Amino acid sequence: MSDELRVDVWPDLRRPTLVCAFEGWNDAGDAASCAADFIHRRLGANEFAEIDPENFYDFTAVRPTVALAADGRRKLSWPRNVFSFAEVPGADGDVVVLRGVEPSLRWRTFTRLVLEVVERLEVRLVVSLGSLLADVPHTRPVAITGFASDPLMLDRLGVARSTYEGPTGIIGVLHHTLAQADIAAISLWASTPHYVAATPNTKVALALVRAFEGAAKVAVEASELERAAEEYERRVSLAVQQDPEARAFVERLESAADDEQPRPRRIPSGEMIARDFQRFLRQRGGNRSAEDEEER
More confident residue, 293 or 178: 178
Structure confidence at residue 261 as a pLDDT band (50, 70, 90): low
More confident residue, 288 or 279: 279
Mean pLDDT of 50-77: 94
CATH number of residue 46's parent domain: 3.40.50.10900
Q: Is residue 133 part of a domain?
A: yes
In percent, how much of the chain has pLDDT > 70? 88
Q: Tell me, rounded to whole angstroms, the distance of Cα 291 from its chain centroid.
A: 24
Structure confidence at residue 264 as a pLDDT band (50, 70, 90): very low
Q: Is residue 172 part of a domain?
A: yes
What was the pLDDT predicted at 199?
84
Q: Do 196 and 250 form a contact (C-beta atoms < 8 A)?
A: no
Structure confidence at residue 278 as a pLDDT band (50, 70, 90): low
Structure confidence at residue 280 as a pLDDT band (50, 70, 90): low
d(CA 279, CA 214): 11
Please count the structural domains in the chain. Answer: 1
pTM for the structure as a whole = 0.86
What range defines the domain where residue 74 resides? 5-289
Q: Do 18 and 118 form a contact (C-beta atoms < 8 A)?
A: yes
Question: Angle CA(272)–CA(275)–CA(278) in degrees, nearest 5?
Answer: 150
Q: Do 142 and 204 form a contact (C-beta atoms < 8 A)?
A: yes
Highest mean pLDDT among 89-93, 227-231, 261-265: 227-231
d(CA 31, CA 167): 20
Residue 187 has pLDDT above 50, yes or no: yes
Q: Is residue 296 part of a domain?
A: no
Q: Is residue 294 part of a domain?
A: no
Q: Is residue 161 part of a domain?
A: yes
Q: Is residue 295 part of a domain?
A: no
On average, the pLDDT of the chain sits at 89
pLDDT tens digits along 138-156: 999 999 999 999 999 999 9
Residue 193 has pLDDT above 50, yes or no: yes
In percent, how much of the chain has pLDDT > 90? 82
Q: Do 23 and 102 form a contact (C-beta atoms < 8 A)?
A: yes
What was the pLDDT predicted at 240?
93
Q: Are strands 125-134 and 95-101 parallel, antiparallel or unpaired?
A: unpaired
Structure confidence at residue 294 as a pLDDT band (50, 70, 90): very low
